[in-house]
Structure formats: structure tokens, C-alpha cells
Amino acid sequence: MPRWIRVASAADHPAGSAVELVAEDRIIALFHVDDRWFALDGVCPHQGGPLGKGTLQGCIVTCPWHGWQFDVESGQHQTTTAAVHTKFAVKVEDGEVYVDVDIE
């Protein structure tokens, strides 16, 4: 059962942006890529770095602490195929961004 939590206004996050947010008890990394939105667990699985404060290039975010890279659409680590980071569904309604905090 989806549990949609409003996390942001879309107008505050232009395409190409990444941001760290809190939704209930989770730290969420929200990404706006062209006209699409994605969300990952905001805590990097390496050593806990803030993925929402990483650098976003296309669909790839680079963790600001040690440079691990993830595809924000799939959660796939870019060099370790076995590692897939937790992702969340995102929707935009009436200019507001919602994240389903139930893990996909």
C-alpha cells in the first residue's frame, strides 16, 4: 500500500537538481532529471554520505564523500553490478512532489 508523503514544491527544484529531504523517519535524496523525478535512500551505502548533496549529471549521482556513483532511476551502482541502492516511487501532482516511503 503506497504511503505518499509530500516532500517539496516542484518549482523549487529545477531540472538537474539534487536535494536531501526528510520524509517521516527517512532521509531521501530527490533528483529532478529533465521532466522526470527520482528518489533514492539519501544515505550512501558506502559510509553514509549524503547522496542528496551529490553531483547530478544526467541520471548519475556522485556521492560527495568518496565518489561512488549511482543511476538515480534504477539505484544501480555504476561499478559494482551487484549493488542496487534503495529507491522510492515519486509523483508530482499540482506542482507538489510526493515520495512513497514504502520501499519498492
Is 42 a binding residue for ligand FES by CB under 6 A? The answer is no
Which position among 28, 33, 63, 90 is part of the footprint of ligand FES (CB under 6 A)?
63
* 46 is an interface residue for ligand FES by CB under 6 A: yes
Q: Distance between CA atoms of 90 and 37, rounded to whole angstroms?
A: 6
**Binding-site residue total for ligand FES (CB under 6 A)?**
10
Measured CA to CA, the distance from residue 30 to residue 73 in angstroms comes to 11
Q: Which of residues 83-102 bind ligand FES (CB under 6 A)?
A: none
Phi then psi for 52, rounded to 5 degrees?
-70, -10
The residues of the shown chain that bind ligand FES, judged by CB under 6 A, are 44, 46-49, 63, 65-68
